[in-house]
Structure formats: C-alpha cells, structure tokens
Structure 1
Amino acid sequence: MKNLEAPQRRELILESAVRQGLLHPEEALVAGFIDLDGVEENVKALHAAFISNPGTLHAFAAKANCLVPVLSVLKDLGMGCEVASEGELAQAVAAGFPPDRIVFDSPAKTRGELRQALSLGVAINADNFQELERIDQFLGQSPSLSTIGIRINPQVGLGGIEAMSTAGATSKFGIALTDPSSRARLFEAYRKYPWLSRVHAHVGSQGCPLALIADGIARVVDFADEVNDRLGRQQIRAIDIGGGLPVDFESDTMESGFDPYVRELRKGTPSLFNGKYDIITEFGRTILAKFGFIAAHVEYTKTTGGRRIAITHAGAQVATRTVFMPESWPIRVDAHDPLGRRKPGEPVAQDIAGPCCFAGDLIARNRLLPPLEQGDIITLLDTGAYYFSTPFSYNSLLEPGVYGANIDADGSVEFTTLRRPQSIPELLERTGLNELPSLAIRQAI
C-alpha cells in the first residue's frame, strides 16, 4: 500500500505493533520502527538522481544507523557503506558489504585499523599528512587493493548548526585547502604518492544550505583538476563528495531532495558529471531519518506549576541530541491512544518528559497536543537515523527493540526484528557481572 500518506503508514504500523505485542504497557515500553518500503523508495530516488553517472557508489554512513540488519537491507538495495571506526567496519563486513564497496573515514585511525583496512582492500580517506605517511609505510611492507584518497576541507563556512558543520575555517576534519602553503603541500603529496587516487570532502550537514555544499564541492573538483593538470596524468580518478544533505524535520514531506541537490551541483560544477571522475556519496540521515519513528507509552501525567507534563518512556536514552540540543534538534511528536490510533481532542500545551533521572530530560516543552493520559502512546517522528540505533545508556535503561515494517497490498504489516529488546541479563553482562568472581579473588589476595 505505497499510496498511503506518511501519517497513515505510521498509524497502520503502530496499531499493528500494539496488536502484535511489540509495544506493550508492561513488557515493551518503547520501541523503534523503520518503514522499509519507504526506505527502498528513497534509495531508488537517490540512484535515479545520479543516473547520468551509473557507476556512482552511494556509501551509506553507518554512524546514522549501525544496526547490522539495517546495513544488510541497504546493501541489498545496492548501496555501499561508509564507516568511521573499527566497530563500524566490523558491522559493515558482517552485513555483507564487499570490501571494495566500503569507505573508511575517521580523523583518528589507529595503526591497527589502517592495517586491517588495507589488508581487506577497503577504500580509505586519509585525514591528514601524518596518516598519509603511515599508509605509505604499510604499503611499502605489503601491497593492497585499497584505493586511497585524502580528505580536504574547502573552508567554505559554517551551516546553521555550528557543532555539526565540517567546513569551517578551523574544522577538525581533513586538510585545510586555503591555509598558507596547504595547497602546495597537498599537491606535493599527490606527486609523492602515486597510489593517492581520490579526493574527499564532506561539506554539508543539517543546517547547511545547498549553495554552501555545492560551493565546497566545486572547490574540491577544481583542486582535482589542478592536480591532474599539473601532474600531466589522470591521477585523481574519483571524488568523494560526502553526504550531509539536510532533512525536513518540520513536515511529513518524504522527498529527500536528491534532485535539487544534483541540480545545484550541476549548476556550479558541471564537470563533476561528465564522466571524468567516479563519484562517491556518503548519505546517512537523508536515507533513513524520515522513515523511522519511536513509540513509547505514557506512564504518568501530572500538572506542576500550572504546566501539564506527560512522563513517557522515551527520553535522552533514545533521543540524546534532542534532549541536550533542543534548539538545534527539535522533533515532532504525535499523540495516540493505547491502541495506537491518532488521539483526538483540542490541543493543549504540555511537556513531554522522558524516564531519565535528571530534570532536563524533556523531548518537547509546551508542545500543543491532544491531552495525554496514562496509558496513551507518543511517537517521535523522523527518528530513523541517530536516535534508537545508538541509545544512550543513562540510568542503565534497557535498549529498546527495533523493527522493520513492510505493508502488504491488503494493509497487513509484516515486522522484521532489527534489534531485539535488551534483557536484564544482557545488561548485567555488559556492565561487568562476569568480572565479579575475578574481582572477589583479587580483593581476597
């Protein structure tokens, strides 16, 4: 039933989850859901936007949702995977991505991580000159199938969320392109290391306008052209343009904006699409955010100081960015009755609080919603990326279950477990229960 609007799809998924016990007022207080049909359509739209460059590698940024079954779904939809740690690399390999479709980015790659990536044949984007020297040493010891690039910072400026912007004058990422002597050192690196065949930049993030992103990528392409022209050969053969396309968190518009993004790139840098360079993208939030939501039960309601407050089971442990940076990362909240149906009623201002034991654990303040009551359900919308997939272990709250949903033509919903709910025994094991015997022995000695 792909013709259903987003709110209808969410309500259908939520009602089915309640009926099937995936959300329960005593046994499953909070859960995450991903509309897998919507994700599939979104990935198709991404491929269609770059259809003039059919060899483009769209590497999903694993940091946005590192659940192995989710990565496996994206692999089956034709995506690659961008990773930024040993753990994410292991998750990508476990999900079945071939090494030549994995891109390893990180500003702090260890010697062990580099050796592993080179031995697997994973593509690497080096972050700095010291890392290039390290890679050169390893390649001198053992050949590798890895393609190597270097991340540059085009220094085009900040977006609306400074903490998320990566192309400011003093960004921690990459090598600054316009600092004194920096461009000359970069050129010398390409001359010195003939295995250096890519250039990488990640300009955008939430809050960055398309014009800023396009300007940064244009400077990267100009740099690649200059390197190739000065060397007299096509040494740089691929340009990794990163991700960071902003997401609409204010409405139910599901289009991810790939077509306007490509039009902006074509306007500023048409040569990027003439076949001279292979293209790599690294979208994460843009792929999944709009197609996921968190559902949680309302445990209690109260009025304090004249303000209505709903105490729910979704707070900082699943919506960390929103709780600690509410101005930068506000999210929409919907109200539902205990069966998952959209709750009617005249909206009133109320706070939506989480279960964490600190006063600032608020998902929303003075939000206009139908009056919430004990036993109702709230949904946190557009949370398919960076929310339930990477929970914050405050108060040792259990990690919620995560489920993928497919809606059949007859309206029935089939769920796939993407992460089972964490159990108390699993929590105790993770927090050192198995170390107690050895600890007791050490204390007795």
Structure 2
Amino acid sequence: MTELSHHPSILWPAQSDGTLLIGGTPLPLVAARLGTASFYAYDAERLRTRILECRYAFGPEIHIHYAVKANPFAPLVAAIASWVDGFDVASENEMALALDVGMPPERIAFASPGKRPTAIRRAVAAGVTVTIESPDQLTTVLAAAEQLGVTPAVALRINPDFTMTRAGMKMGGGAQPFGVDREAAPALIARIRASGAHWTGLHLFAGSQLLDTERLIAAHQNSYETLARLCDEAGAAPKWFNLGGGLGIPYFAGESPLDRAAVGAALHRLAQIHRQRFPTTQLILELGRYLVGEAGVFVTQILERKTSRGETFLVCDAGLNAHLAATGNFGQVLKKNYPVAIGNRMNSPATEKVTIVGPLCTPLDRLASNVLLPRAEAGDWVVVFQSGAYGTTASPQRFLSHPPVSETLVWPVTASKEPHHGTR
C-alpha cells in the first residue's frame, strides 16, 4: 500500500513500478480502455467495503439511504442499489435514474426546496415519497394525486431550531429555503393526516461534511428529539425518521477521519430509546459523500511542464471544468490542496514543489498550489484523491467548450460482474 505523506488517511495500492492500481487495474490500462486523457474512476470494492463498514458500525436498526446527488453515475448507482436500503433524490432526473436501476418507489424519497409541478406529478404517479418543504408543495401534491386518482406518499422536511456547528455546509436552523420551520410543522402534519395522504416520514438534514465526532453525535440526537417531539405533539408517528447524515471525509492536511465506531455506538443507544418510543418507525441515515467520496479518483494527463519566474507549473488536460471542488471554487472559504499524486510515480520520492493547473484561461484553474511531488513530465498522470463525490455534476464541464470527462466504475478482476464505464 502507498501512503500519501501529506494526507496519511489515504491508502491506495500501487504496483512495484509505482503505477497506481484502481480496483486492481493499473491506471494506464483504465485510461486506455476509456481512450481519454481525463476521467473519474470509482473503485467498486472500496465503495462496497465502506457500505459494509457502515452497516457493521451502525447496526441493523439503522437503515442506510444513498443520497444520489453525491454521485449520479448510472453504473455506480446501479451497484449501490443492491447494497443500501433506499435512495434520496433531489431532482426529477435523479428520481428517474433511481427507478431505472430498480429501486422500489416506496424506498425513494424526493427532497428539494423547489420541485416542478411535472416532477411532483411524476413522483406521485410512480409512488415515490414526495418530501414536502412548504405548504404550497403539499397543495401541488394533493392536486396531482386527485387528478391521477391515487393516494400520495408524503414526508415532511423540518427546518430545526438548532444549527449543526462546524459543519461544512449548514442546511438547518435560522431562516432557510430548506424544509418547514419546526414551529410551523404541527399544523402541516395535521393537514397531511387530514388529507388522507400516506404520511410516510419526517426528514431533518441539519448539515453536511462534519468531521467532529462529538458534534455529529449531538446533531443526530438533537435531530431525533426534534422529530420525536413533533410525533408526541401529533399523537402519531410516520413510517420513518430520516436523521440526515452529516458524516464528512477528510480532504485536507490536518484533518482526521470521523470515529465511525463512536458514531455507531451513539446510534445504537439512540435506536434502543427509539424502539421503546416508536417501535414501528424506522431510523434512516442519508449518506452520500461518506459512501462514495473516498472510493473515487480524478485523473488527468500532464500536457506540458513549464517554469515561470522560478515556479514550476504542470499544465493538465482538465482542471476546474472537470473538478470544480478541487480548485477551491465549490463553497470553500480558503483554498486548500486536495491530496494529489503522480499516478505513475507513486513510489518515487517527492523532490520538487509544483503548481498543478488545467487548460483554462483563468487564474481560478488550479488543482493544487505549491505541492511537493516527484518530478513529473508531459504524459504523466496527475491523480486527485477523495474525488468520488460532487465531481462531474458539480463542475462546469461545458466551460470554454471543453468536452466532458469520462467516468468509469472499476470492479476487481476477480469479481463476477463486468466493469462498467461511460461518459457524460
């Protein structure tokens, strides 16, 4: 195994000649199969292992749902469908994908602060749970159901009266476009129940990308108590509580992984309490980045090496247009380097500081700045780790009319299932 010295939490295997292995396949072979100089590769076995680790740590009473928004690459979603308990989708196209890969509609929840009437109608017709985020959304759902002659499945997303501190993104507490304010929720729950709709769930997603284990545990507990008290007030409980997720992964030097065992132990204690209070209501964790983020790499070939006033630049085939987050332009306040390596020189000593840029004519197009790496030349491969989530679909791939990058899901050579790859 090769350990990246500037980010010790990441371990990826390499051949004796220093070539990175992705799902057991040498990087150049993956590139040759795709016929491209820039691509995302997802290691299917790493992904499966992460889901199994979560199941072991969290226990059988915690149902795991995949947040498709994190990575909607169809072969990856199809694989995950058999490993998780359900999907959370955030658009009509994600809903269509979830149905296409065979996830039963009753195990799909559609949550978004803005939903087109046509998308709501399609969800109601398919039997997908529509997560209500405003009174008007409920009105639209009920009207669609009446027109179709069906009983809709609805959940309610709650904007809590607490915030998830130190989260990478806060999505609850204060004034938010997400969900219904906690104080307004009882009236809407009463309206749902009176309408005859199937009240399937309560959803609370306070924030994402949290690496502080104790704060994450506290957020889960606060989320649970908020939902439980609403049910106490209503005198009824739905089929499930979705506690959100919030589990982060380390991207930058100095960050450490969550203590998954501690999170699991806290969830087990919570599940024991829950079993006594609401024995027929499931507990769901909605995980996206935490499942797929560390299973993916972004790879781009070096086009040329150049020096400007003493600083060395590695100019690559793709950059900001293909991996916006790695350039620090996807919500980061301070630009920090993702963990990077030269994928065909994994065993070589790091001897020089370089800045890695893409081909775009903007100073924002920097994948890494002043990073210590082995000497690299044109034709070598830059690898950006922690790239399994919010990659292609969170990047401006049409910027400057560059072509979209490829994606591939790599299965171990011994796996019975054939490797999948494709492009967007």
Per the TM superposition, whether the score is higher than 0.5 is: yes
For residue 385 of structure 2, what is the aligned residue in structure 1?
A: 381
For residue 308 of structure 1, what is the aligned residue in structure 2?
A: 312
Contact 1:82 1:103 in 2 (8 A): yes
What letter matches 2:363 in structure 1?
Answer: A
CA distance in 1, matches of 2:189, 2:47: 40
For residue 5 of structure 2, what is the aligned residue in structure 1?
A: none
Is residue 2:261 matched to residue 1:259?
yes
Picking from 133, 143, 148, the partner of 2:139 is: 133
Question: What is the deviation of 1:57?
Answer: 3.9
What letter matches 1:33 in structure 2?
Answer: A
For residue 35 of structure 1, what is the aligned residue in structure 2?
A: 43
For residue 398 of structure 1, what is the aligned residue in structure 2?
A: 403
For the pair shown, which has the larger CA radius of gyration, 1 or 2?
A: 1
For residue 204 of structure 2, what is the aligned residue in structure 1?
A: 201
For residue 104 of structure 1, what is the aligned residue in structure 2?
A: 110
Contact 1:321 1:329 in 2 (8 A): no
Picking from 64, 68, 72, the partner of 1:62 is: 68
Corresponding residue SS for 1:316? coil
What letter matches 1:138 in structure 2?
Answer: A
Question: What is the deviation of 1:119?
Answer: 0.8
Per-residue Cα deviation, 1:104-145 (whole angstroms, up to 9, x for no partner) = 111101211111111111112111122122223333444546
CA distance in 2, matches of 1:94, 1:268: 34
After superposition, the Cα gap between the structure-2 partners of 1:257 and 1:119, relative to the gap in structure 1 and judged at 3 Å, is farther
CA distance in 2, matches of 1:413, 1:394: 39
TM-score by length of 2: 0.84
Contact 1:318 1:387 in 2 (8 A): yes
After superposition, the Cα gap between the structure-2 partners of 1:328 and 1:131, relative to the gap in structure 1 and judged at 3 Å, is farther
CA distance in 1, matches of 2:395, 2:254: 25
After superposition, the Cα gap between the structure-2 partners of 1:22 and 1:390, relative to the gap in structure 1 and judged at 3 Å, is farther
Question: What is the deviation of 1:184?
Answer: 5.0
Contact 1:34 1:291 in 2 (8 A): yes
Question: What is the deviation of 1:286?
Answer: 0.6
Picking from 405, 417, 421, the partner of 1:418 is: 421
What letter matches 2:32 in structure 1?
Answer: L
Q: Structure 1, unaligned stretches of length 5 or more?
A: 423-445
Is residue 2:276 matched to residue 1:236?
no
CA distance in 2, matches of 1:406, 1:321: 26
Corresponding residue SS for 2:265? helix
For residue 7 of structure 2, what is the aligned residue in structure 1?
A: none
After superposition, the Cα gap between the structure-2 partners of 1:28 and 1:227, relative to the gap in structure 1 and judged at 3 Å, is closer
What letter matches 2:408 in structure 1?
Answer: Y
Per-residue Cα deviation, 1:136-162 (whole angstroms, up to 9, x for no partner) = 333344454653111011132254466
TM-score by length of 1: 0.80
After superposition, the Cα gap between the structure-2 partners of 1:265 and 1:155, relative to the gap in structure 1 and judged at 3 Å, is farther
For residue 360 of structure 2, what is the aligned residue in structure 1?
A: 356
Contact 1:332 1:381 in 2 (8 A): yes
Question: What is the deviation of 1:17?
Answer: 3.6
Q: Which residues in structure 2 correspond to 1:244-283 (within 5 Å)?
A: 244-250=246-252, 257-266=259-268, 270-272=272-274, 274=276, 275-283=279-287
Q: Which residues in structure 2 correspond to 1:170-181 (within 5 Å)?
A: 170-177=175-182, 181=183
Shift >6 Å, 4+ stretches: 251-256, 412-415
For residue 440 of structure 1, what is the aligned residue in structure 2?
A: none
Count of aligned positions? 404
Q: Structure 2, unaligned stretches of length 5 or more?
A: 2-9
What letter matches 2:20 in structure 1?
Answer: E
For residue 345 of structure 1, what is the aligned residue in structure 2?
A: 349
Which is worse superposed, 60-69 or 256-265?
Answer: 256-265
Question: What is the deviation of 1:329?
Answer: 6.5
Contact 1:302 1:310 in 2 (8 A): yes
Identity %: 21
Contact 2:337 2:369 in 1 (8 A): no
CA distance in 2, matches of 1:19, 1:134: 51
